[in-house]
A and B are shown apart, each in its own frame.
Chain A
């Protein structure tokens, strides 16, 4: 069974930093790209970025809204990906999901975690 489990969410002050983790089981993590998507309460989905696998040089790509503030990394030995968030703003308050195509040939994100809530407030 495929599982993606996010952790690390919580309350942080504006300007602060937070690191989210996403632990993966059930597919070959090292061969899969990993994505982060967020959703503010009552709003739509916003793709934040992705990190590709080692054969693809761990290439990253980001949404314009988070460039320079958010960084995605991964530790293949721990089957975990991370979202490092700096200079947080109130508008970053959202549920943060990690997702992945896994071993699917579709190319889209077949697998999603349940999300972790980040609240940016003073």
Chain B
């Protein structure tokens, strides 16, 4: 199975400031056939199901604010929230969908400083 490891486990950021979190996979999730990284980011607000933010490592889902951006390739990925808003308080998960079993990272909890 591909193991996904996120860092840090939690971070506290002031409103309007940048939040950056990382995700590392135990093997590459890049497909040479599709030239796509099979890496997604989800946000899970308290008491809610996860909601998708990013797929293909860097493509924002329709309707996701442009303060969210994803980057990286192969085994190392980053999610950046450029200007933290109150509604971004949540746990963020990366997930690989390169191969089954799909696997999630353990999550990064984002709080307001």
Q: Among residues 28 to 61 in chain A, which have CB atoms less than 8 Å away from a CB atom of chain B?
A: 35, 37, 44-47, 49-50, 61
Q: Among residues 64 to 122 in chain A, which have CB atoms less than 8 Å away from a CB atom of chain B?
A: 64, 97, 99, 106-110, 112-115
Which A residues are CB-close (under 8 A) to B52? 106, 108-110
Q: Which of B12-20, B72-80, B82-90, B102-110 contacts A (4 or more CB under 8 A)?
A: B102-110
B61 within 8 A of A: yes
Task: Choose from B49, B103, B107 the contact partner of A113 (Cβ within 8 Å).
Answer: B49
Which A residues are CB-close (under 8 A) to B65? none
Which B residues are CB-close (under 8 A) to A37? 50
Whether A45 touches B104, Cβ cut-off 8 Å, given contacts A106-B59, A110-B52, A114-B49, is: yes
A11 within 8 A of B: no
A62 within 8 A of B: yes
Give the distance in Å from the alpha carbon of A49 to the alpha carbon of B102 in the complex: 8
Which A residues are CB-close (under 8 A) to B105? 44
Which A residues are CB-close (under 8 A) to B100? 50, 61
B97 within 8 A of A: yes
Task: Choose from B38, B49, B97 the contact partner of A112 (Cβ within 8 Å).
Answer: B49
Whether A108 touches B104, Cβ cut-off 8 Å, given contacts A45-B93, A113-B49, A115-B49, is: no
Give the distance in Å from the alpha carbon of A14 to the alpha carbon of B62 in the complex: 43
Give the distance in Å from the alpha carbon of A50 to the alpha carbon of B102 in the complex: 9
How near does chain A come to B68, taking the closest CB pair, in angstroms?
15
How near does chain A come to B29, taking the closest CB pair, in angstroms?
12
Taking Cβ atoms with an 8 Å cutoff, the residues of B that contact A are 1, 38, 40, 42, 44, 49-52, 55-56, 59, 61, 91, 93, 95, 97, 100-107
8 A-B pairs with the lowest CB-CB distances in the bound complex, closest first: A61-B100, A112-B49, A106-B55, A47-B102, A108-B40, A45-B104, A63-B101, A108-B55
